[in-house]
Structure 1
Amino acid sequence: MSFISNFFSPSDNPNSLGAKFRNQRQKDFEDLFFRNFSKNDPIRVLDVGGASYFWDTSSLPSLPNIEITLLNLGKEDTTHPKIKSVVGDATSMPEFAENSFDLVFSNSVIEHLYTWENQQKMANEIMRVGKKYFIQTPNRKFPIEAHYAIPFAQYLPHKLLYFLLTKTKVSRLQKWDPTHAKQYLEEIRLLDQKEMQQLFPESKIYQEKFMGMIKSICAHNLG
């Protein structure tokens, strides 16, 4: 039963399938990162929508001259001396000048912005404030919807999906809180590879695959 539970758990469970994908993605990201930056370089990183625990398994916070800034709508807890948290809006960052950061990073955030217009605003701000960027999002065309772990949930009417989330345990073996379910249904707008390329027209696309299918998409200019 623990295997099944871990399989369906969200990625903040270190034993979950999502966490295993995230760890591999982090490794691939760091391989790209160190092609662009020396370990002794002074490096400013902006993590849009990030959490401190994401960097626990990363080698980046151990670099001598790095500073990682977490940007969220609310203050995030962090005790690491090289990771700080600020309050801000991913779609509008007037507090940061052009090219303020050596790298802008974001993991599974851009699909939570309600509208295509907001996603465009976030992408434009990322390209404005960052010299380099690495932006990940689940692939809309992958058969298992990433947030609910329900096959083809992204194509279901919201009323039916709300019923499945709140009245059954088909999503991650548990019933969702109605308020939480409603919020997710309103805010999530999944992207496909074509749209990510539109948002970041000069980017390369890194494809994260599972059983030959594209599970998530990362747009980057790490070259």
Structure 2
Amino acid sequence: MVAAAVGGIAAPASAAAAAPQAPSSPPPLTTSRTIDAFDWKNATLDTPWTRARLRDGLRCPSGRVTFREVAPDESDYGQVIRGRATLLVRKVDTADVNRDGRPDVLVHFLCQRTNKDVGYSWYYVYTFTKVRGYHGSFKGYRPQVLDFVTSSDFASNGRWNITAIDARRGGVDVEQWVRARRSFTVDRTFRWTERWGLVPNRPLPIHPEADRAPR
């Protein structure tokens, strides 16, 4: 009985006293000294969604992510891979979309099953805010979501797709293709409003869900 009791006490004291490790802090969000110099392909950003999923149920990377350039000097995209999902980002265009006198950026996110032709493209407009450091000193500019625009169903049997998209002062112009018995293209304009943000002049026929932002 004594031997059994001693054996039970003989566990290493260091193991019993070990404290749980504190979770590592997330990397800081990326800033840049000028708006034009912001490097989207190598940026740390908070995604505009929390639980976005593909048509087959795969969950897209979300939260704070750090992109890395796909191929230096050969690609416009940065990417991050989590599990079986790949998220890519690309700067598309620059214009004063909300008419505040400062440039805004049209940004393309593509979430897909890694190495598979299954995914969604989401387009957002970002504005930039000034970041202050100690004693109010200027630290840089940081992107902030201005509004969601629209999307593409990125798949070999995709139901709708963006064939052209351009930002301009006061809005975003989009040409979208829609699959139907006789497929067709639609020209739409998303105009900026102070109350409602970007508002399309018409919904996308057959698939109005194209204008629904991932959650």
Structure of higher RCO (CA pairs closer than 8 Å, 6+ residues apart): 1
Which structure has greater helix proportion? 1
Q: TM-score, normalised by structure 1?
A: 0.25
Which structure has greater strand proportion? 2
Q: TM-score, normalised by structure 2?
A: 0.25
